[in-house]
Structure 1
Amino acid sequence: MSYDNAGKSIAQLAVLLQSGQLDARALAEETLAAIGAYDDQTIFTRLTPERAMIEAGIAANRIRNGRSRGMLDGIPIAWKDLFDLKGITTTAGSVVLANEPPAARDAAVVAALAQAGMVCVGQVNMSEFAFSGLGLNPHYGTPRNPRSRDEARIPGGSSSGSAVAVAAGLVPVAIGTDTGGSIRIPAAFNGIVGYKSTWGRYQMDGVFPLSKTLDSLGPLCRTVQDAIWVDAAMRGLTQPSVRRAPLAGQHFVVPETVFFDDAEDGVIVAFEAALETLVKAGAIIRRQKFPVIDDIFELMRSHGPLVVAEAYALHQQRLTGPQALQMDHRVVERTRKGEAISLPQYIEILERRKQMIAQFSAQIAPNEFILTPTLPHVAPPTAPLHADDELFVKTNGKTLRNTSIGNFLNWCGVSIPCGVGNANMPIGLLVSGLAGSDDALLGLSLAVEDAIIA
């Protein structure tokens, strides 16, 4: 179903709302109707129409009376099913939590965006317990990538519904989580913007965890500017602290280790074209090998992945009880591998991680940012991955590979669409920065986006 405001950015909708050309209640009604009529009903796991209309009505009154709370007032938003919404059970994409008590209060970041005037329309689908980069969910269905035309292709995960809801034009923004790529992966697969923050940038109260060492949050939306507005409000700011940065004279480094291994030709072509565009705009780009990135994967092979160790600790009781039979067997199998990771190994992983973060940081200049393909391939067809567990595991590993490097090294990152590859499917350019460089990264990403999507 198409509707008047389908596919509009936050900025476009805000102009209409603030000028009185569009009423927040009408926008909420239109959004809920469009979601209900959309031909893929696996995107949202539950809607919140009563809450949406109350919040929209209050926003409309504020705007009409000259008391608008800013650019986000009256803007619809969807939440990944890891964020507590008051009065609703957070299921984390799993049926085993379906009978848990409803949340007593909103998650901290939900409350922050409600305070900014945003209108909650519901929760969106995800990989069960956020433990896959592909977005398949056997319980609530797998959202179809709206950019696929030849056959159903995966949405990417774990924030699958968040990306598809935006890419399909149903909402201008949805909030996701990112432990190994769960914002940047679906953003790239669906041709939208996804921002993963540095760990610790936002309050995590009321967010169901996967790995408390690696979990971070961020918006999936249509533009970098939209992400900047939402980021500020998630931190309780009334306006962004981000300043636009010029490309001319800006230094970037392209790591040649791991990121390009077995990458599709279309990905390489689109990435190199984006680099050429940035150089023409005055950017200074160099390439370097970073053995420390190889060391990350060697550590995972010898000790096990950090995320698996922490996921096993979180879900150990479920895995040893009858609830395991209700879970996606692929999630169960992957999580159970954490049992083999000993406490000394876990502690050593954490210590080695600190060393590797320092080692990489010492090899680039303080003002340098990192450019890589978000993913080595475009979104693959869904059906074979449902049918073949071996293919699922192999594809999941490859899909998570590039982005998980940033999680391990605590980078922040923005995935920006930079062209299309096989089957005319989207490709993402990932701009990353060292921990804590979020404001500079976002300001620079505005210029990158302007250059490559001109």
Structure 2
Amino acid sequence: MSKSFGAMSVAQLSVLIQGGAADPVDVAEAVFESIANCGDKTIFTTLLEGRGMEEARASSKRLREGRSLGLLDGIPIAWKDLFDIEGLPTTAGSVVLAADAPASRDAAVVGLLRQAGMVAIGRTNMSEFAFSGLGINPHYGTPVNPRGMDLPRIPGGSSSGAGVAVAAGLVPVAMGTDTGGSVRIPAAFNGIVGYKATRGRHAMEGVYPLAKSLDSLGPLCRSVRDAVWIDAGMRGLTAPGVVERAPPGLELLVPENIVFDAAEAGVVAAFEAALQRLQSAGAQVSRTVIPAFNEIFDLMTRYGPLVTAEAFALHHERLAGPDADRMDQRVVMRTRLGSRTTLPDYIAILEARSRLIADVDRLVGNRLIVFPTVAHVAPPISPLERDDELFFATNNKTLRNTALGNFLDWCGVSIPCGTAEAGMPVGLLLSATAHRDEALLGAALAAEAVIRGDFA
């Protein structure tokens, strides 16, 4: 049993730990052993064995004494390499921050989940400074998608190591961030669940930013129930308050523009099959054009992407100095594009964003929006490493669907819905307008089995 602890869901493992069938110390030891035996050494940038075992021993003692902190006590978790961990520098997937002063305290959500009894296992690899949806990292290596049976395929980014750590069965949950899809993309590519919360739902203190007006947090895990439990812990709650919303009566809106452009046939087929299952279970499905989608891309063409402008503002001094030579040159190139967005341009983007959010909120109402998380399956790594033009084109296409939700301030859950080319997973993205996380999670909780179909 010990060999499979990391491959269990949070809920499955919690039953064993709370019932006394598994001890947190044994669980943590087995998880560290599995990581040590894993052939892919690029998944984690740092292991926290000392801290993790100390937290596991404290959890074990509490449980023996009947003082459990709740459902998450003793559950291992991995953290993306941009969450502050006390005593360590926060490197954000880059070598240029390695000599920075160590963090004086944990990031706020790290502290909250520690208070819930969770056991920190390590930091996971990521796209440098979180600025790519592909997950390729020239400094620490690129984690290989464990679902790829034919050849090495990308993990998705920027939460690359987080997605692979869960999909490979090393940990039950890993924490990511999502500025343009960085939780939902690796979830879709690796065949797991990824929940992106509404921006501001979780505390951002101690999280290295990319674009503060877009950044949000969320877990990558094995089930929607796991995401619900972790979300509660991230907000300091002892138990979740999400109520399941059964598919009968569920209203779903499928956009007819942008999100299916140049989509792979297998992705569309898997998505439509899942949608049909939802309809058969009683969900009401309507399809319509969402004009704001086109206007968002028109804004990007005219003024430049919002994320690029804010990333340049964050990194412009670094890009003007010697550190630029030590960074991923693709990150440098993309970030420098933000210099083209003037202050009047930036203000125009923000004003248009507010208007478009209001327009879409009126159009969508209480419905959930549903479309493929990514329009293609995870492509092979090697061609993307060799070809800059292919890299940027693939990155743009990979981020396209999910970035719409960040711009419009949506929350979203990516759920596996089948497979396509080469047997690679396809994700179905359920989204809701801002601050409707409970409604979204309740619907996803009830509909997950239907959406998955035969996908294990």
Q: Same-fold call, TM > 0.5?
A: yes
Q: Distance in 2 between matches of 1:226 and 1:86?
A: 26
Partner of residue 446, structure 2: 447
**Contact 2:75/2:119 (8 A) holds in 1:** yes
1:330 aligns with 2:330: yes
Secondary structure (helix, strand or coil) at the match of 1:26 reads helix
Partner of residue 43, structure 1: 43
Ranges of 4+ aligned residues in structure 1 off by more than 4 Å: none
Give the C-alpha shift of residue 453 in structure 1: 2.6
Partner of residue 219, structure 1: 219
1:213-362 matched pairs, under 5 angstroms: 213-362=213-362
Secondary structure (helix, strand or coil) at the match of 1:5 reads helix
1:126-150 superposed Cα distances (whole Å, 9 cap, x missing partner): 0000000000000000000000010
Q: Distance in 2 between matches of 1:32 and 1:293?
A: 44
Identical positions, percent: 61
Give the C-alpha shift of residue 36 in structure 1: 1.1
Give the C-alpha shift of residue 55 in structure 1: 0.3
Partner of residue 397, structure 1: 396
Q: Distance in 1 between matches of 2:141 and 2:408?
A: 33
Partner of residue 176, structure 1: 176
Q: Which amino acid aligns with 1:370?
A: I
Q: Distance in 1 between matches of 2:6 and 2:273?
A: 30
Q: Distance in 2 between matches of 1:399 and 1:4?
A: 32
Secondary structure (helix, strand or coil) at the match of 2:364 reads coil
1:111 aligns with 2:111: yes
Q: Distance in 2 between matches of 1:362 and 1:188?
A: 29
1:165-193 superposed Cα distances (whole Å, 9 cap, x missing partner): 00000000000000000000000000000
Q: Which amino acid aligns with 2:43?
A: I
Partner of residue 378, structure 1: 377
Secondary structure (helix, strand or coil) at the match of 2:126 reads coil
Q: Which amino acid aligns with 2:179?
A: T
Q: Distance in 1 between matches of 2:93 and 2:383?
A: 21
Give the C-alpha shift of residue 392 in structure 1: 0.1
Q: Distance in 2 between matches of 1:44 and 1:160?
A: 10
Q: Distance in 2 between matches of 1:19 and 1:274?
A: 36
Partner of residue 426, structure 2: 427
Q: Distance in 2 between matches of 1:140 and 1:448?
A: 38
Give the C-alpha shift of residue 400 in structure 1: 0.2
1:403-440 superposed Cα distances (whole Å, 9 cap, x missing partner): 00000000000000000000000000000000000011
Q: Gaps (5+ residues) in structure 2? A: none
1:20-51 superposed Cα distances (whole Å, 9 cap, x missing partner): 11110011011011111100000000000000
Q: Distance in 1 between matches of 2:195 and 2:311?
A: 23
Q: Distance in 2 between matches of 1:381 and 1:205?
A: 36
Secondary structure (helix, strand or coil) at the match of 2:101 reads coil
Give the C-alpha shift of residue 362 in structure 1: 1.1
Give the C-alpha shift of residue 290 in structure 1: 1.2
Q: Which amino acid aligns with 2:257?
A: T
Q: Distance in 1 between matches of 2:4 and 2:357?
A: 47
Give the C-alpha shift of residue 450 in structure 1: 2.0
Secondary structure (helix, strand or coil) at the match of 1:357 reads helix
Q: Distance in 2 between matches of 1:6 and 1:122?
A: 13
Partner of residue 92, structure 2: 92
**Contact 2:55/2:117 (8 A) holds in 1:** yes
Give the C-alpha shift of residue 361 in structure 1: 1.0
Equivalent residues, number:
452
The range that moved more, 59-68 or 124-133, is: 59-68
1:137 aligns with 2:122: no
Q: Which amino acid aligns with 1:236?
A: G
**Contact 2:202/2:235 (8 A) holds in 1:** yes
Give the C-alpha shift of residue 363 in structure 1: 1.1
Output the TM-score relative to the length of structure 2: 0.98
1:150-176 superposed Cα distances (whole Å, 9 cap, x missing partner): 000000000000000000000000000
Q: Distance in 2 between matches of 1:234 and 1:100?
A: 27
Q: Distance in 1 between matches of 2:346 and 2:132?
A: 21
Q: Which amino acid aligns with 2:380?
A: P
Q: Distance in 1 between matches of 2:426 and 2:369?
A: 17
Q: Distance in 2 between matches of 1:4 and 1:83?
A: 27
Q: Distance in 1 between matches of 2:146 and 2:12?
A: 21
Give the C-alpha shift of residue 292 in structure 1: 1.3
1:78-89 matched pairs, under 5 angstroms: 78-89=78-89
Secondary structure (helix, strand or coil) at the match of 1:252 reads strand
Partner of residue 418, structure 1: 417
Secondary structure (helix, strand or coil) at the match of 1:430 reads strand
Q: Gaps (5+ residues) in structure 1? A: none
Q: Which amino acid aligns with 1:162?
A: A
Partner of residue 3, structure 2: 3
1:158 aligns with 2:158: yes
Secondary structure (helix, strand or coil) at the match of 1:134 reads coil
Output the TM-score relative to the length of structure 1: 0.99
Q: Which amino acid aligns with 1:369?
A: L
Q: Distance in 1 between matches of 2:311 and 2:228?
A: 30
Partner of residue 30, structure 2: 30
